Amino acid sequence: MPAISKDLVNHLAVGDEDGGQRLDNYLFKILKGVPKSHVLRIIRAGEVRLNKKRCKPSDRITAGDVLCIPPVRTAEKAPVPAAQAVPAREFEIVYEDEAMLVINKPAGVAVHGGSGVSFGVIEQLRRARPEARYLELVHRLDKDTSGLLMIAKKRSALVKLHEAIRNDHPKKVYLALGVGKLAADKLQVKLPLFKYTGAQGEKMVRVSEDGQSAHTMFRVLARFNNALLHQAGLSELSFVEATLKTGRTHQIRVHLQSQNCPIAGDERYGDYQANKRLQKLGLKRMFLHAAELRLAHPLSGEPLLLRAELPTELQQLIERLSAAEQSQIKQP
């Protein structure tokens, strides 16, 4: 990130990683602490020059462009207490090259700070890699979801990946454990989803005709209905593969809830009593994992198939349930 002088006119050359974006978005990024309204005002007043010419907020910048920016005073930040400082952290790397990074995100870690969360994956990665000029999230995973998370290392890669996502090119496959019996072994759920704010200010989603179109394909991998479950006060569980055809907030969670098969351990859309009973079987988190990504490399076009195995605690639960199922089948 270029250093901006508070007292002198700044002349900045646009780097390769920043080319292609809108002028206002670029300035919002480099002028941290400056109100967006002030940034827009200095552009419209002609105080910002692009290649020595007046410019508009919507103008696109390209690599090699020269920006002239007037002295700008940013808001002084109070020192961050040591306890709140972002700790550097690397994550399990599934794939990495000069354009992109794909990690296996653990459950319980937000992808970015905000909404009561001081920091997330992206802030920790930036702290761990101070030499990296560009690190941006390509998409998001819920805090309690584990699995494959894409991060762009070049703006050109980010633009291509976002374009691919809009065109439904990356195939995203998740593994989930539902509480209940999914109606069919293969099921397509096409129900619109509407975002709203809950009573405690939390982000919520429900099925509603006023919402955005959403499409999930489900395939049952295993059904569990055995003595182990019955002893814990549970009737049936469905281990499913979910393939996203759209990427709405909480899509898989709400689509499974709509089929009376909410995700095991889901504290927001799940079955409270069932979750308490599942804890006795060792499930301490939501059973949702981003397991597979199929996509074309954003720069080379090379086909990529990336996988992240189920975390140990989820795999052990499936093995335990499978063993109980087999034991029941063998009984006379």
Give residue-wise pLDDT tens across range 164-223.
Answer: 988 878 899 999 999 999 999 999 999 999 999 888 888 899 999 999 999 999 999 999
CA-to-CA dists, residue 89 to 33, 100, 123, 126, 290, angstroms: 25, 17, 9, 9, 20
At position 125, the amino acid (one-letter code) is L
User: Mean pLDDT across the stretch 243-247?
Assistant: 93
| Active-site residue (options: 18, 24, 65, 142) | 142
142 given a catalytic annotation:
yes
The pLDDT value given to residue 82: 47
| 80-131 confidence digits (pLDDT tens) | 554 457 888 999 999 999 999 999 999 999 999 876 778 999 999 999 999 9
Contacts of 63 (CB under 8 A, 6+ apart): 14, 15, 16, 18, 19
User: Mean pLDDT across the stretch 58-69?
Assistant: 93
Which single residue is written with the structure tokens 């007043």? Answer: 45
Q: At what angle do helices 23-30 and 36-44 cross, to 10 degrees?
A: 130
What is the chain's alpha carbon radius of gyration, rounded to the nearest angstrom? 24
| 131-159 confidence digits (pLDDT tens) | 998 999 999 999 999 999 999 999 999 99
User: Mean pLDDT across the stretch 274-278?
Assistant: 96
The answer on pLDDT for 330 being more than 80 is no
* Main-chain phi, psi angles of 31, to 5 degrees: -105, 60
**167 vs 246: CA distance, rounded Å:** 10
The pLDDT value given to residue 331: 64
The pLDDT value given to residue 311: 97
Dihedral-angle region of residue 52 (phi above 0 means left; psi in -120 to 50 means alpha; beta otherwise): left
In 10 A of CB 283, how many CB atoms?
18
The answer on pLDDT for 78 being more than 90 is no
Which single residue is written with the structure tokens 């969360």? Answer: 117
**221 vs 210: CA distance, rounded Å:** 33
Residue 123: both structure tokens together? 């802030």
User: Lowest-confidence range among 16-20, 59-63, 137-141, 177-181?
Assistant: 16-20
The answer on pLDDT for 2 being more than 80 is no
The pLDDT value given to residue 77: 54
What 8-state DSSP symbol labels residue 18? G
**220 vs 262: CA distance, rounded Å:** 14
User: Could you give all domains of the chain from N- to C-terminal order, each with its CATH number?
Assistant: 10-69 (3.10.290.10), 87-330 (3.30.2350.10)
